Structures are given as C-alpha cells and as structure tokens.
Structure 1
Amino acid sequence: MTGRIPIEDVTPSVACGRYPAKAVVGELVPVGATAYREGHAAMGCQVAWWGPDGEPRPVVRMSPAPDDRWYAAIRPDEVGEWRFTVQAFEDPYLTWRDAVVKKVDAGQGPTELANELAEGADLLVVAATGMPTEAQRRVRVAVTALRDEELELAERVSPALDLAELLWAYPVRALLTDGPERTLWVDRQRALFSAWYEFFPRSEGAVLDTDGRPVKHGTFASATARLPGVAAMGFDVLYLPPIHPIGRVNRKGRNNTLTAGPDDVGSPWAIGAVEGGHDVIHSELGTLAEFRKFVVAAREHGLEVAMDLALQCAPDHPWVTEHPEWFTTRADGSIAYAENPPKKYQDIYPLNFDNDPDGIRAEILRVVLHWVDQGIRIFRVDNPHTKPFDFWHWLIWQVKRHDPDVLFLAEAFTRPAVMHGLGKIGFTQSYTYFAWRTSPAELRDYCAELLAGIDHMRPNFWPNTPDILPEHLQHGGPAMFKIRAVLAALLSPSWGMYAGFELFEHVARPGAEEYVDNEKFELKPRDWAAAEAEGRSLAPFITRLNEVRRANPALHWLRNLRFHEIDNPALLCWSKRDERTGNTVLVVCSVDPGQVQWGNTVLDMPALGFDWHERFTVHDELTGANYDWGQRNAVRLDPYLQPAHVFTVHRHGAPPPSPAGVWDADPTPGSEGVGWTS
C-alpha cells in the first residue's frame, strides 16, 4: 500500500498474489477490497487496470457494501496477463454534499452556510477539470448558482446536489492510495466453456475376428470418418489418449492381465518403444503428416484436438537407455515401475525429476513445443499430481510465453488441496469429483467448493472416463445416463464424456469401477450408425444439451451458478443468468432413475432477474412446452420420459421462443430398456 488509506483483502488474489488469478476473454470478473479511513469524511474506491500491452484501461468506480467492502467488475477483452490495483481516495464532493444536506435539513440558512457555499463552488471548479464539454457546462451552472447571493438557498444548492451521479463517474480524488498490485491471466473462452469428447483413434475403423482379436487397426484416416458424428453432437474438443509407440516389454494384455498375447495392442499410456518416444506417432495409427491432416480435418468440423501428455515411459522407451538418470533405480539395480498400492503398473516407469532437473525439463519442453508446432493447443495432462509442482509451474508458463493460447487440463483425482494447488500454479482446467457426487446435497456442497475456488481452478465435469465407470451408471439404467449428462453439461461450463456413454455402456470388470474389456488394453470398434438407426443411442439427447449450451450465454459461465430451494431431496434446482444479455436458464433435475418424483420450488426471484411477486414464462428446451411460473411451482419428473426440465426464462409478453431443435422426450414404447444388458 502506498498512501494514507488502508486497503486490504483485495480479490481476486491467488496465494496472496503469488500467482495470477484466472479469467477468460469477455468474462465479467468481480474485484473486491476492504478499505476504510479515519473520521467521517466520505471516501471512494476504484479499479485501475492495464492490458497485456501495458496500456491503462478506463478506471472503474467501485460500489460500497457492508463492513467496508467495495466491489466492481472488469471485463478483459484479450488473451494475456493483465494487472490491476484497487485505489482508495477521499471524496471531497461526497463529504461536502453530505454535510450541506444535513445542515439544510436542520434549517440552517445562507449565512450559516456561507463557507460551505464558497467551498463547494471552489471544489466544483476543480472537479470540472478534465470532464467532457457537456459535463463541464453542468458543473459551471452549479458553480454560478452557488455564488449567486440573489437566489434562494434551495436554488443555490440544488444544481450542485444534483451532480452526484456525474461526480460519481468523474470524482474529485484526494489522498489517492494505491493498494497491492495483482495479476490476472486471461485465456481464450474455451478455457472456461468447452464440451469434450474422448475416443481412441485406434478403435475407429478397427476390425476384430470372432474371438475379439484385432484383424485391422484403426488409423487417423479411418478415425476421420468419426469426426462428423462427434461434431454433430455439439462437441468442440476431441481428446485423444496417447498416440505414441506402445512398449512391448511388460505389455499388459486384455483386461489388464500381466501377460500379453501376440495380438494384444497394449495400453497407450505405456509410452515408448524402439520406434521412439513422446515425440513420435504410433506407426499403426499413421505418419506425422497424416496426424496433421487429421487435426486439420477436425478443425474443419469445428473440433479442436486435445492431446494427452503422459510423462511416463514403457521399459523400452529410448529415454530409459539414453537417460537412466531420469528414472529411479531400486536396491537390486532394477528400475522402479509405477505403483499406486495396491495397484501396480508394471508396463510403466515413472520419471524422476531430481537427478537431472535441467535436462529433463528441457526435453519435456521440447516435446510439448513440438506438438504445439503440429497444431495442438490443448493438452490433457495425465496424473500431474505425481510430478513436482515447481516443474509444472515452470513448464506451463514457458509454453504460454511461446503461445498464450495453449491450455492444460489436469487429470488429478486426488486431495482437494492438491487439485486446487495445480490450478493455482497454472493448470487451465481440472477434472473433478463430479463422477462420485450423486445426491443434490452433495452436488450443492461440491459446487459451492468449486465456486469458492473459481479464481484459480476451473472444473470440467465428466460422467465417465475409461478409468471411471461409477456404480450409478452400472446399475441406474438409461435414465441415469440422461440425468448425469444434464448435471454435467448444465452445472459446469465445461464438461466431457468418453465414447460409449451415448451407447449406455455400463458393464464393469468384477470388483472394479471401470469397464470390462477395457478399451485401454484392446481395440473396441463400435457401430455408431446402427445404434442411432435402431434407437439405441443417447446421441440425439446429448446433441440437444449441447445445442442449448451454445445458444444460451448464461451457461457459458460458472460464477453465475445459483441454487434454489425445492422440497424433495431427490431433486436439484439451479439457475444461471447472464447479466449482459439477460439470458436466464433454470433447471430442475431428478437424481432418481427409477421413480417419478414431485417437488415444490421456492425460487430466488432476484437471481432470475425478477421481483419477488412477478410471474414469468418458462420454455422447456427439451420438450418445447411453455409454463406460467412464479416463485412457488410444482414439478413432476418421470425418469423414463423426462428426468429434467431445462427452462429458458422469459418475461410475459416477450416473443415466443422458437421450437426448433426440440428433443423428443416421448420415447418409442418400451424403449426405456433398449440397449441395456446385464
């Protein structure tokens, strides 16, 4: 702090300003501070801020709140590092105005107020400096009135008292005090709002024999045929598991067996073989040129390819022989493989960052920038919590200096403090515990935790991954797949799903919370077209959810998430409102896949943009139905017909919403069980 007035607890601030807070282009970022001064003189606060080019932006006046808190909002408009500080000042005009109003109300006349009238005129002369011409004219009129002794007192002071709004925008500032400077890293919008889809390119176009052995391996060329289907569902990020050579030493067989057969393809996360390591393409997928062609084809379909960054090695990775110091040697001379007791990963060697930190850092930076040069701007990072935090902080900001558009998703299902810590040091997004939060109470509490950390950790909700098949998806039936898709897609601005979710794949390996015949260890071709033609696919429903997400700016943000009361513990009610456009989405979702649920809402009306007594129209974006609603409403949700209402909110008299693209919630009779086998 530099100056007279104390300024404390400036937000957003990550680790006391050690790291930048996060925002995206166009996001309304709330800025807050505690500021106070001695005595009774009025004061004000403002936000001074500078763009990535170092040029100042127009200062933003802050509004007072209880307990000496002050708030404003800024909206950065380009990618890069922004700086801001809260400035506090004495406001002589407000001090003068408050005193004059009180004295006039107390019955004092021109004689008693002679000093105030003269001081006010002098103050306004100073205030007019630098104002626009029309504003200066208004101030001069007020100065003339204050100095005109022929006027009645009310006529002398009224023009000056009426300048409160103008002098709020152009304040007189004395005792200007600078608070601590803070930084804000602003990403492109996809850092916050995105829809991810994961598939294994080696499975797309693959052919198996009757025993499930691979006859034909999928390639980038054959996987290109799947791009239109993914794009048609409304996804904008296509995440590929590792696409590098797969080790042959200690290769895992189907269902994670320790002994691989001659036809077993191994796990893509066991990276590296005699052909090369992290900077090489698996030969059966294609060439580097074919990969670049695949990336371009994805972009033409509106899909951005996200690449897996898994910093681990198969035993036959070239690094093992070229740089044995990058690994951990055990007492018997063997290299330690990866373990997460009781799990063992005999086909993977973890890296050791302590023996040659400079060498290993330089090599990993080279690898990452190699893929950036191939057109990759998003990396999904495998198990980042098992690598040094200072390494990640260094790597991420080195890459962003090279290309500030690069984004990093942390795949870290670990302790909350560690997950939040990864966000603080620079990870753009994070996987979350969403897959295991099932009740409305759990979801409300978890979202409250995420909202508290929004300045440093952006969530990405996934109902499933190749490693995660939660119990509720194993046994909840197709209705549960709809429920989890609604919750993931509409609670979080970023969500994702692993291929097969839309086909209701739900059979787990006995004793594990993951898929049987797991695609991590074998090829898994799927007949997408047949599934949709036969009505065995959730793709149309997912398509509609993503259409609703794109069409409603309220769903592009997380800070605006508000929960509403509903008297049934099996129902969750929430809304999002975009203040700039007025767009508002209200969702009521059941978490029960087996029973019809009724509930009564008690809505927070101001959160929806209404006064408490008002009524409004809600338009169900899934069915096309319209309802007249107010604060208290009854809802009925049938898990087989419609487990959720997804409403857009409209004032009475507003133009009726278009029915285009409505999801047909009335299934073919008996279809609630189609495609479901135990």
Structure 2
Amino acid sequence: MTGRFPIEDVSPVVACGRYPAKAVLGEIVPVSARAYREGHDALGCNVVWLGPDGAARPFTRMRPGEPGQDRWHATIRPDAVGDWVFTVEAFQDPYLTWQNAVTKKIAAGQGPAELANDLAEGARVLEAALELVPAADRKRVRAAAGALRDGKLPLPRRVTPALDLADLLWDHPVRELVTTGEERRLWVDRPRALFSAWYEFFPRSEGAVPATVDAPARSGTFGTATDRLPGVAAMGFDVLYLPPIHPIGRVNRKGRNNSLTAGPDDVGSPWAIGAAEGGHDTIHPDLGTPADFREFIAAAAEQGLEVAMDLALQCAPDHPWVTDHPEWFTTRADGSIAYAENPPKKYQDIYPLNFDNDPEGIRAEVLRVVLHWVGEGIRIFRVDNPHTKPFDFWHWLIWAVKQVDPDVLFLAEAFTRPAIMHGLGKIGFTQSYTYFTWRTSAAQMRAYCEELVAAADYMRPNFWPNTPDILHESLQHGGPPMFKIRAVLAALLSPSWGMYAGYELFEHVARPGAEEYLDNEKFELRPRDWAGAQAQGRSLAPYIATLNRVRRDNPALHQLRNLRFHDIDNPALLCWSKHDPETGNTVIVICSFDSHTVQWGNTTLDMPALGFDWHDRFTVHDELTGTSYDWGQRNAVRLDPYLQPAHVLTVRRPAVPDGSVSATTAPAELTVEDVPADLSGGTAPTAPAQKDDARWTS
C-alpha cells in the first residue's frame, strides 16, 4: 500500500492473496474494504479493475456500509474470462468535505460573510472537477462555480447549484491524497463454472446386453449411448459426466458387487484404468474408436449437453505405466507394488501413483494426457479423489491447463475433511462435491449452506443426492417423496447440482451393510428400461425436468452468494430465497425434510432480502402446481410428501389479487393448533413396498 490512508481487510481475497478469488462471466461480484482517516474531512473509496487484456474497466465508486464501521462496498460484473486484477483506492474527497461543512454552517445560521472562505473553496473544487466530468456536464459545473464566486447573488442561489452536483461528483469525484492498496487477483470462468446441471451415466450400460446361458454379455457403445442423449436433455441437464472410458485392467479385476473373483463376463471397474490396449489416453475398444467418441461429443452438443470426463490418476496392475515407469509407484518390502488401501477397504485392482518418485516425469505425462482430451473437445474434468494427491501438483496442473485453454473446468470429487475441501477450492478447482448428502435435517442444511456461501469467493458447491458410490439411507428408506425432496434441495439450494442415472427410477436397494447400491454399476453392466418406466409412470424424469426448467428460467437461481434463509416455525421445514437485484427476479422455496407425514409451518420472511419493505404484499406463483398466492411477511404453508413436498415460488410484482389464493389453502399465520386433526399430520399413508426390480411406483 502506498499513500496516506489505511486500507485493510479487502475482500474478495483468498489465503491472504496467495491465490486468486473466483467469479464467472457476468456474475455480480461484491468488493469491500475497511478504510478510514484522521480528522473530520470526507474519505472516498473506489475500485480500479484491469481485465485480462490489461485494459482498465470503468471507475467503480464504493459506498459506505453500516455507520461507524468504516467498511466500504461496491460490486463489479466481469465481462471477460481470464485473470483480472483489482485494487482498492482511498482518497480525500474535497467536494464531500465542502458539502458537509457548508450545509451545517448554513443550518446554524451563518451568512455570506462568515462563509466567504467556504464559498471560495467550493468554487476551487468545482473548477478542479471541470476536467473530470463528462463534456456535456461542464457547462453546469462552470456555472455552479461562478455562482459561488458571485457576491451579488443571495446565499441560496450561490450555493444551491453546487449542492445539486452531488450525484455527478459522486460518479466523477475530485480525488486528493490518493492511497493505492495492494493488487488483488480474480480469476473469471465461463458461466458453467457456477451454474450447471450434471447427469452421470455409464455409456457401457446404455444398449448393453447382459450375459445369458447361450450368449456372453455385450457392452454398450458410444453409438448405443447416443440413443440416451435425448432423454437426458429432456430432463434439462447441460453437463453429461462419463465415468472413465479407458481400457480396464484384467489383473486382479473385481467381480460383481466388488467381489475379489471376476468371472469371464465380469467387466471390471472403469476406475481400474489401463490394460494391454492402452492407458489414460486410450478409449476402451468395447466403447468404440476415437472417431466414435468425437461423434458422441458432437451428438451430445446437438442436444445441449457438454460432455465431462473423469480424470482418475491411478492404474490397474497391467497399465502400460507400470511396465514403462515402475518408479512412479510405491514398492513394498517384498518387492511388490502397493495397491490402493483405505483400511479396512482394499483395492487390489488399483495401483496409486507415488508423486514423490519422479514428480517431473509424472507431471509432464499427466499434462500431456489432459491436453490430449482437451484436443478431443473435452472442457470439463471430474477429478477422482484429488485429496489423495499433492496439492502443489493440482495447483500446477490446473493453471498449466488454463494457460492453454481458460475454459477448462475441474470438479473435485473429495469427500474429506473441511480444510482439505476448502483448500482444493483455493488452489484452483472450479467446483467441489460436498457433504450435502449427509445433511438430512433443515437445521443441518441451513448451517452447511451458510458455511458454503461464506466461502463463495473460492469454493463452488455441486450438490449430488446420489453417486455410484453413495446411496444414503434417507433414499434407501424414505420412499419416492424423499427422492423429490432431495432433488428440490440439490437443484434449488446450489447453482450446480447433479445426479447419477437411476435416481429418476427411484433405485434404492443397498448392498447389505454398505452405503452403496446393490448390484453396483461400477462392476457390472446395468441396462435400464427408460421408456417403459416413463410409460408406466415409474419415473421422476418429468419432475426433474420441471426443476431444471425453473433453474434455467430464473436468473436468481444461477447464483450462490444471494442464498438467504428465512425463519419458519416448524423444524421439519426449510425456507430460503434467492433474489437477483439486477433483474428483480426472486424465488422462494419451502421444502419439507419429512417424507412420511404432512407438515405445517408459518414463515417469517426477511422482506428486505426479497427487495420489499416489511409491510408489502406480493403475488407468488408455484412453479410445481401452477397455483398463485397472495403473500406477505407471514404465511402458512402445508406440505404433503405424497402430493407436494415443496413450494417453489416465483415472485410476481406487484401482488395481483384476482384469481390468487391467500397464503396457501390456509389463512396467514395459521398455527398447527388451529388445524383439524385429520390435516395436521396424523398417520401418513403407508410407504410403497420395495419392488423386486429395486424401483418404486411414484
């Protein structure tokens, strides 16, 4: 910092400026700092922004925050992808100093003689401003300066023209004693880095034919997987994530349900990468050729889907790296190569890399592999277990790739300690998996989301209700309503969310004693009858499509920093909103965490957070049912898990009473005690029994 005034506690800053903060193209980014000065003269602050091209963006004036805190605030909307630099400046504002003094002295009854020096000082400031204001305003400023110097005019006419310039001189201030803070960095990604809807499927399962007595199993291909793309696109997803598509090792191959012995038809885990056919830069021959993969990417793009690829830095025992570079692995005392372990779990089909053995060689090879796939059209990588590899390696790799293509994004699949997850975000990972799956009460979810919003400068969450590895007990036992509930929470709390194939079919049967699917698709082909499920009404796909449509149509849901929670008097319910001040778009959601019983609650909305005064009324439209309601600060809601476990309300301004319903089906501020016994919860309908095919009827 150079200059007269202290500038402290600048935000956004990550790790004391060691890493850049994050934003996306067009995002409203808040900037704040604490700045103060001695005495009573006025202080001003502004932000200077330099884009990736090195060109300065328009001067951004900062406004003071809560009185007495000396905190200054502004927002910026980046208009280019890349590395930005911003600096907070503090300065003496002679116009504000003059304005404050002269208005107080006039109010105290001082006349022209006593104000002679003040009037002359005001004229001097305005004359200095002539070179700063737009040409169209200079005549007005010159006239105001002349009026201050004209002793023949009565005092009000001498002063008023200068006081009327307050807005102009706020935007184009005279700045004296300018102090420049430290340069800070902001990396700006394309919008998909913040707002995205992911869908995961195994291409080998799409169009696959399981083994029979008369014929061996036949894998699906990129060609047969193309047939599934319209169904994924119809649900409103925009990122299609594929597990590893590389050759799968034959040595120590796992069988079904992670058994140690593989039969002749067992296809193995895609995460056991590498075989005689090749390694991380090779496509499994059962899936097709590189040309087939390029055609698949193009077909996905035609459906509005961007293909994301798995980056798993581990090897099967027969990966070419094991033969060509045995130094990249850990050798045990008996001379064998150590396979992966997470005691008591053992992964005999996987060799982890040892990044302390020939780190430069490993770095060069991994960068080559990643850029190979970037050259094939991949711009998103889901990174498997990044917390088990060195942080300095990831920091180097991510920024080396972005030097080649700044549009490449990296999703961290790291379910580990909070400090490590946050650390991965700081060093450059674009998005992160989270603890969303294990936050199963309204209080837990609110606290966790508030923690994520506080980390929005560097960590972008991606909420997944399920993955091939994770089938939480809430989905195992919660019935179809829980699938709706978790989808609402994932899709509308976070700007990015995803789900693994089978969720829309209510797949819920777990391997005994484990938090993962029985007959896990990681180890076997699992073709699904998508069309049959849809035709029989056994699919959640239309509901998912509605959620993704609401996300797409409402700009407020594209952001994370604007998430606000509101009080509701039932601990089984969660109420939150997102408001976009730029467009005025506002969405309010109330969601139940109870998949078995009816729940009532009364809201106490934070009206200013919604852009309203405390006494305002407004109309809300439920995007799930098509019903409109007249709402205010306090509203009663009734959520039935089997009919409507959530309200997804878009605010329509102003309130339109014609055809609207007050509150929901109940008067405002209705309490549970006022509800008839047959509506206040009671005994829920019996949850549908589990079917033999591991699906439920919705």
After TM superposition, is the score higher than 0.5?
A: yes
For residue 56 of structure 1, give the secondary structure of its aligned residue in structure 2.
coil
How far apart, CA to CA, are the structure 2 residues paired with 1:68 and 1:657? 49
Distance 1:330 1:655, change over 3 A: farther
Kindly report which structure 2 residues correspond to 1:377-526, keeping only aligned pairs within 5 A, or say none.
Answer: 377-526=379-528
The answer as to whether partners of 1:619 and 1:657 remain within 8 angstroms in 2 is no
Aligned to 1:101: 103
Q: How far apart, in 1, do the equivalents of 2:213 and 2:464 lie? A: 32
TM-superposed deviation, 1:530? 0.1
Structure 1 unaligned spans of 5+:
659-669
Of 310-319 and 120-129, the range deviating more from structure 2? 120-129
Aligned residues: 667
8 Å CA contact 1:508, 1:514 repeated in 2: yes
Partner in structure 2 of residue 308 of structure 1: 310
Corresponding residue for 1:26?
Answer: 26
Residue 64 of structure 1 contacts residue 70 of structure 1 at CA under 8 Å; is this kept in 2? yes
Contact 1:234 1:546 in 2 (8 A): yes
Measured in 1, the distance between the counterparts of 2:239 and 2:607 equals 35
Shift of 1:209: 3.9
Alignment correspondent of 2:61? 61
Q: Distance in 2 between matches of 1:487 and 1:212?
A: 46
| Pairing 1:191-590 to 2, within 5 Å after superposition | 191-209=193-211, 215-590=217-592
1:13 aligns with 2:13: yes
Q: Secondary structure in 1 aligned to 2:362?
A: helix
Q: Cα gap change, 1:56/1:285 in structure 2, threshold over 3 Å: closer, same or farther?
A: same
CA contact (8 A) 1:192 1:494 kept: yes
Q: 1:152-171, aligned counterparts within 5 Å? A: 152-171=154-173
Offset from partner CA, 1:614-662 (integer Å, 9 cap, x none): 111110000000111111010000000000000001123679999xxxx
Asked whether the equivalents of residues 8 and 34 of structure 1 are also in contact (C-alpha less than 8 Å), the reply is: yes
How many angstroms does 1:65 deviate by? 1.4
Partner of 2:49: 49
| CA contact 1:504–1:676 (8 Å) conserved in 2 | no
| CA distance in structure 2 between the aligned counterparts of 1:61 and 1:652, rounded to whole angstroms | 32
Matching residue's letter, 1:366: R
Question: What letter matches 2:645 in structure 1?
Answer: P
Deviation at 1:105, TM superposition (A): 1.1
Structure 1 CA distance for aligned equivalents of residues 609 and 272 of structure 2: 49
Structure 2: which 5+ runs fail to align? 661-684
| 2:115 aligned partner | 113
Where 1:62 maps in the other structure, the secondary structure is: strand
Partner of 1:651 in structure 2?
653
Instruction: Compute the displacement of 1:355 (Å).
Output: 1.4
Task: Assess if the C-alpha contact under 8 Å between 2:604 and 2:634 holds in 1.
Answer: yes
- Whether the aligned pair in 1 keeps the contact of 2:618 and 2:655 (CA below 8 Å) is no
Q: What is the alpha-carbon distance in structure 1 between the residues aligned to residue 96 and residue 483 of structure 2?
A: 58
One-letter amino acid of the counterpart of residue 40, structure 1: H
Root-mean-square deviation (Å): 1.6
Q: Name the amino acid aligned to 1:307.
A: M
Residue 617 (structure 1) aligned with residue 647 (structure 2): no
Q: Distance in 2 between matches of 1:674 and 1:558?
A: 38
Q: Is the 8 A contact 1:640 1:672 kept in 2?
A: no
% identity of equivalent residues: 77
Secondary structure of 1:542 counterpart: helix
- Give the residue type in structure 1 aligned to 2:321: W
Matches of 1:471 and 1:211 in 2, distance apart? Answer: 35
1:566-619 CA distances to partner (integer Å, 9 max, x unpaired)? Answer: 000000000001111101000000010000000000001111111110111110
1:3 is aligned to 2:6: no
CA distance in 2, matches of 1:425, 1:213: 50
Answer yes or no: is the 8 Å Cα contact 2:24–2:190 preserved in 1.
Answer: yes
**C-alpha distance in 2 between matches for 1:214 and 1:39:** 86
Amino acid across the alignment from 1:303: L
Find 1:172's aligned residue among 166, 171, 174.
174
Q: How far apart, in 1, do the equivalents of 2:389 and 2:480 lie?
A: 38
Counterpart amino acid of residue 600 in structure 1? N
2-side partners of 1:642 and 1:462: how far apart? Answer: 21
The separation in 2 between residues aligned to 1:352 and 1:657, in whole angstroms, is 67
Per-residue CA distance 1:338-370 (angstroms, 9 max, x = gap):
011111101000000111011110000000000
Farther off after superposition, 345-354 or 140-149:
140-149
Report the Cα distance in structure 1 between the residues aligned to 2:283 and 2:687, rounded to whole angstroms.
Answer: 42
Whichever residue aligns with residue 439 of structure 2, its letter is R
Is the Cα–Cα contact under 8 Å of residues 24 and 194 in structure 2 kept in the other structure? yes
Q: Deviation of residue 141 (structure 1)?
A: 1.7
1:446 is paired with a residue of what secondary structure? helix
In structure 2, how many angstroms separate the alpha carbons of the residues matched to 1:109 and 1:101? 12
TM-score scaled to structure 2, two decimals? Answer: 0.94
CA distance in 2, matches of 1:300, 1:198: 18
CA displacement at 1:673 relative to structure 2: 3.5
SS at match of 1:450: helix
Contact 1:536–1:675 (8 Å) recurs in 2:
no
CA distance in 2, matches of 1:278, 1:475: 38
Amino acid at match of 2:619: T
Using the TM superposition, give the Cα deviation of residue 130 of structure 1 relative to its aligned residue in structure 2, in angstroms: 2.9
Q: Among residues 128, 134, 137, which one is paired with 2:136 in the alignment?
A: 134
Partner of 1:667: none
CA distance in 2, matches of 1:419, 1:649: 35
Alpha carbons 2:630, 2:657 under 8 Å: kept: no
Deviation at 1:133, TM superposition (A): 2.4
Provide runs of 4+ in structure 1 moved above 2 Å: 209-215, 652-658, 670-678
Is it true that 1:604 corresponds to 2:598 in the alignment?
no
TM-score (norm: length of structure 1): 0.97
Alpha carbons of 1:671 and 1:276: their partners in 2 closer, same or farther (altered >3 Å)?
farther
**What letter is aligned with 1:566?**
I
Secondary structure of the corresponding residue to residue 333 of structure 1: coil
